[in-house]
Structure 1
Amino acid sequence: MTAKIFSSTRVQACKLGGLCALMMGHLCCSPNDPLKPAYPETITLTVKNPAAFARKDAGIVLEIAKLKAQAPSFNDKAFVVLHGAQELASQANDLNGEGSAEQIVCVADFAANESKTLSVRYAQSGERMRKYPKRTQAELSHKIGGRFVNRKYEGGTFQNVRSLRVPSEHTDHSFYIRYEGPGWESDKVGYRFYLDWRNAIDIFGKKTPSMVLQNVGLDGFDSYHEMSDWGMDILKVGDALGLGTLALWYECNAHRIAQPDSVTCAILSNGPVQSQIQTHYFGWKVGTGAYNVVSNLSITAGSRLTKHAVAIDGDPQNLCTGIVKLDSTVMLKSPQANTDWAYLATYGKQSLANDKLGMAVLYRKSDLIEVSEDEHSHVLVLKPEHGQLTYYFLAAWEKEPGGVQTVEEFETYLNQTVAELHAPLVME
């Protein structure tokens, strides 16, 4: 069996095999256990935090095909995840929209060096899904009922959709897609990217842990550039890479995905503990090359991090990402340490509200070709391996609840995040 394990900083694939205590049976419950009649069957597994520090909102992703290999009667429409008597927030992810889930995701806190025995309890038939407080969200909303006139959408009302093939008439400021692209958020921070020729990632600073994106941009483009009760758009992207935007380094410049032949975007999951967005770019042209790209963006409850998993064909020499250059900032780089991961970051009064904002991109050291820059951005030039590349990015705004207030705090947070990436949860 293979499970995917992630802390609040990453998704980590683990081979369970002999490391995992995976057993079939019935949980030993008291007669008064209210869940026993509804979820009588049990799979158990043990997860360990190998690090000498605690983890909050660490998560576990289990592949349902592997669960069913051990327990053919497993039902992804009627399950619950427990640690002892404590119910853990969880969700089932149907990533292809065909009606059957491929993953179970849950979150839990771990003390330093702690092992937890988890029980996935289920009913063999029926549908009994549990509901949990929503701590992540992903959405894509565009207008219906109107029409394009000279590349501007007139009339219509916004409607959330699971997927969209971007119309050829659409461009920046077409008034067609609410806040100009898909958005995703955790209880810490929100993000969006422009689903047009700009294809750059922007930040929504949040002053509340509640989900807010569903109310953003309903009254026009400018509303979220002003401070409100929930927060605001806090980054000036311009012609730069914003934060963590995918690009290709060509002739000493970062080229965003500006000229694809076509684009489709889909919300893969929109759950209480994890949300994901997948975008397909067909025929992205840079120089003499043309590439097809699949971009997967995901965020987890309790985390500022977005994971960006990229697949590309056409064998490019590199991919790049980075951070917009802004005044009144300091650039931070990882200290020399025996870790697999490193970061490039900036910190200072660089938000649109002129308050303190930290931004970082985290990458595998083995993927790095060079750290560079162009006119608009600090740039990480990275090497995809067999057409695959994964990196992370994050924003930490001083006005978020419990926000980072100093550059020293931000560096401490980044170093802790790198340590978590280096020592992922394991099965034992």
Structure 2
Amino acid sequence: MKSFIILAFMNLCLISASGINIEITNPNQTDLKDAPVVVKLDKFKKTGQTKRNELAVYIDGKQVSSQLDDLNNDSIPDELVFLADLKAGEKKKVQLRRISDKKRIKFPAEVYASLILKEADGKHTNIREISSAKNDMYNKLHHHGVAFESALVAYRIYFDNKSTIDVYGKKQYQLELADTRWYPSDEQLAAGYGDDILLVSGWVGVGTVKGFEKDKATHINKFDSRTHRIVAAGNIRTVVESEVKGWEYEGKKTDMTVRYTLYARHRDVITEITTSGDIEILATGVQQIGGGACFQSNQLVGSWGSWYPQPDTVKYAKETAGLGLYMPKEYKGKQIMNGVNNLIVFPHKKEETTRFYFTVIAEKEEQNNIKTAEDFFKYLNNWRRGLKPIVVE
């Protein structure tokens, strides 16, 4: 009996020491560098719930940067995420281990998100979430809504009826928003910081979700409440949401949440739409820039061009950029030109999540050799081939 108890104890120790073994697979027919891997922890019962904060990721015996996120705000981490290099079709073994804080490597933050309230006394307060029942928050928030970045690019979402996504391009690959708060000083610009590169006006920007009525994209004008929130912001990814409740559209009221996820070392954003009811038609896409070139198909749209990023054309020079968006075929999208909006319109079912992707390249990036429309559209066609999520088993 004693021998049996000792053996059982040794087996438990081996399980604890070796951790939880998982296998990740690249389902794409192209090699991927820094591919996002999402481990849904409820799928792996051995992770339990009470000690998930102790989990770390090991690949080839080495600890790698990872992030635990509580996406449903129940104080229990739901997902563990990390990045991995995988060749086309490659399978790779990964270990999840429980470790002490002493053994945990402190990896640098590679992403950043900010939502800044302008107080009545002139102070600025960093917040995680804010809501309003009116279209009155645009000027009450610094940079007009939630903003988020990787070292490659930054985005912001306007907290108004347009809900437009705007773009901040970078010369050098570095995090900047904590320093510039979207508006770099002359000294920062001289030092090589980036800046806003897109005049979005009332157009679709890149990846904005809009209504579509009478053959044109429409703003979200009638609603009960609108919310911006930072769901997660760590060293590997930012997750932010733009939510509207009671949107009066297509003859009924519907709640809609659009979640945007940006990973470290990435410029492309994963966009996920969920709603409380069926919607016959929504629109997203990219805007044409300064009369420049457009790429058009039912799954992939793009634009490349040059235009002033601000109404002040004396102080600000023209910026050249490429915008791209890919919507998988399963969502039954259809490409439509609506003025300067290069759109994909699509239906949405309440029990489903519509998932699409958008990306941006600024011509001024010092480490990027994409400088023409032809190069950019070729890049988009290659990019779209590597967007299937990594399989975790």
Identical pairs, percent? 24
2:43 alignment counterpart? 66
Contact 1:329–1:347, Cα closer than 8 Å, also in 2:
yes
Contact 2:197–2:319, Cα closer than 8 Å, also in 1:
no
Cα distance in 1 for residues equivalent to 2:29 and 2:76: 38
1:161 alignment counterpart? 127
In the alignment, structure 1 residue 78 sits paired with structure 2 residue 54: yes
TM-score by length of 2: 0.85
Cα distance in 2 for residues equivalent to 1:280 and 1:209: 30
In the alignment, structure 1 residue 344 sits paired with structure 2 residue 301: yes
Contact 2:326–2:357, Cα closer than 8 Å, also in 1:
yes
Cα distance in 1 for residues equivalent to 2:294 and 2:149: 25
In the alignment, structure 1 residue 408 sits paired with structure 2 residue 367: no
Count of aligned positions:
372
How many Å apart are 1:50 and its aligned residue?
4.4
TM-score by length of 1: 0.79
Cα gap change, 1:106/1:272 in structure 2, threshold over 3 Å: closer, same or farther? same
1:313 alignment counterpart? 276
1:49 alignment counterpart? 26
**Of the candidates 331, 339, 357, which is equivalent to residue 392 of structure 1?**
357
Q: Deviations over 1:292-342 (max 9, x none)?
A: 1111111111211111101123322111112223324111135xxxxxx93
More helix by share: 2
Q: Deviations over 1:179-234 (max 9, x none)?
A: 0000111121110011122211100102232221223348xx7969x956320011
Structure 1 residues 28-427: aligned runs within 5 Å: 40=17, 42-51=19-28, 53-67=30-44, 69-72=45-48, 75-123=51-99, 130-144=105-119, 146=120, 155-166=121-132, 168=134, 170-172=136-138, 174=139, 176-217=140-181, 227=189, 229-286=192-249, 288-333=251-296, 342-350=299-307, 352=309, 353-386=317-350, 388-403=353-368, 404-421=370-387, 424-427=389-392
How many Å apart are 1:135 and its aligned residue?
1.4
Cα gap change, 1:122/1:171 in structure 2, threshold over 3 Å: closer, same or farther? closer
Cα distance in 2 for residues equivalent to 1:314 and 1:52: 35
Q: Deviations over 1:154-201 (max 9, x none)?
A: x331111111123647244x2x21100001111211100111222111
| Structure 1 gap segments, 5+ residues each | 1-22, 28-38, 147-154, 335-340
Cα distance in 2 for residues equivalent to 1:117 and 1:157: 49
How many Å apart are 1:286 and its aligned residue?
3.3
Contact 1:79–1:128, Cα closer than 8 Å, also in 2:
no
Tell me whether 73-82 or 98-107 shows the greater mean CA deviation: 73-82
Letter aligned with residue 162 of structure 1: R
SS at match of 1:318: strand
Cα distance in 2 for residues equivalent to 1:329 and 1:101: 45
Cα gap change, 1:236/1:73 in structure 2, threshold over 3 Å: closer, same or farther? closer
SS at match of 1:181: strand
Contact 2:197–2:320, Cα closer than 8 Å, also in 1:
no
Cα distance in 1 for residues equivalent to 2:82 and 2:382: 22
Cα distance in 2 for residues equivalent to 1:250 and 1:386: 20
Letter aligned with residue 194 of structure 1: Y
Contact 1:50–1:113, Cα closer than 8 Å, also in 2:
yes
